[in-house]
Amino acid sequence: MEISSELLFFFSILGAFNGLFLSVYFLFFSKPKKIYNLFLGAMLLALSIRIGKSVFFYFNPDLAIGYLMFGLTACFFIGPFLFLYVKSSLAPNKPTYWKWHLLLAIPAVIALMYFYSLGEENENRALRLIYLQWLVYVLLSWYAARDLIKKIVKPSVKVTIKERWVLSVIVGVTFIWAGYYFSRYTSYISGALTFSFFLYLMVLFLFFNKKKTAELFNEKSKYGNKKIEANEALVQLEKLNTLMQEKELYKNSNLKLSDLAETLKLSAHHLSQLLNDNEGKNFARYINEFRIAEAQRMISSDSKLTLEAIGYECGFNSKSTFFTTFKNITGKTPSEYKSLI
């Protein structure tokens, strides 16, 4: 190979190798184990296999059909894993029906690969179907992130580092899809180069936000290795949940972490760690879920109270906070929820 070809091969395959290492990290080593990290790892693995196949095929067009089919099979799963990653990241408490997406994808990809093996004309048709399926899932991912996009365009609304990361992943995969789909007008290797470029932008993103990396991947590093024993945590959580349900402390709009900790005879730090490590949520989220559950109960019971009054009754100190929190947790506004009953 000429020097230019060697550099092209190096930068193209570098992204695939680094993506493979990152996928292994998210699949096996990221802590705590969260399903969205598994989906991210699976998506990176599928991308890395697809990119690797593209690079080797570009420099060796006589690659065996088995390798080509392996790469295209991986390509078929990029879209589903992207969509499931976005859904489970932005709405962790909602069912994402991920098993159905994957169970339907398996027979579909088997049928496509059989169709692909029947001849050159069928190869092109199968390839177009795979790119179409990938595009559909990319569009579904953008739709799933619609509320996040609305937050981004509003300067007054705070967007978390994790939300920016999720949006960056969608943007990156969209560009990679475009790199492959429009390669007929550019070069087949453009998809691999786009992936390498996107991957290193993500690395820079993490580097400049290194202090927030733990928040990004939901690693509660601030507690170090002082993890509460499982049996102790179970007892304390049961006591906490019983207290919240029987005393309805969440209805106190001025309830603070320190107040609840004192009631439980725990330190505020200990209670915060208990919720983060075992419930995967902070104090505000924990309390608001009780409030929203109570609001849903009151709305469903055909309460004569207005929606605003229900919000105050459940512990919210403003109408806007109630409506925003209700939408974040349930995916619907109180009015939309009421209309479905």
CATH number of the structural domain 222-339: 1.10.10.60
Q: Which two tokens stand for residue 167?
A: 């949006």
pTM of the complete model: 0.59
- What residue type is 308 in one-letter code? E
- If one compares 234 and 186, the residue with the highest pLDDT of the two is 234
pLDDT tens by residue, 52-67: 887 777 777 776 777 7
Q: What is the DSSP letter of 187?
A: -
Tell which residue, 131, 104, 127, 132, has the closest CA to residue 116.
127
CA distance 91 to 104: 22
Whether 41 has a pLDDT exceeding 50, the answer reads: yes
pLDDT of 30 reads 78
pLDDT of 222 reads 46
pLDDT tens by residue, 287-313: 999 999 999 999 998 778 899 999 999
CATH number of the structural domain 3-219: 1.20.1070.10
Mean pLDDT of 85-95: 76
Q: Where are the domains of the chain?
A: 3-219, 222-339
CB-CB contact of 181 with 156 (8 Å): no
Mean pLDDT of 171-194: 75
The full length of the chain comes to 341
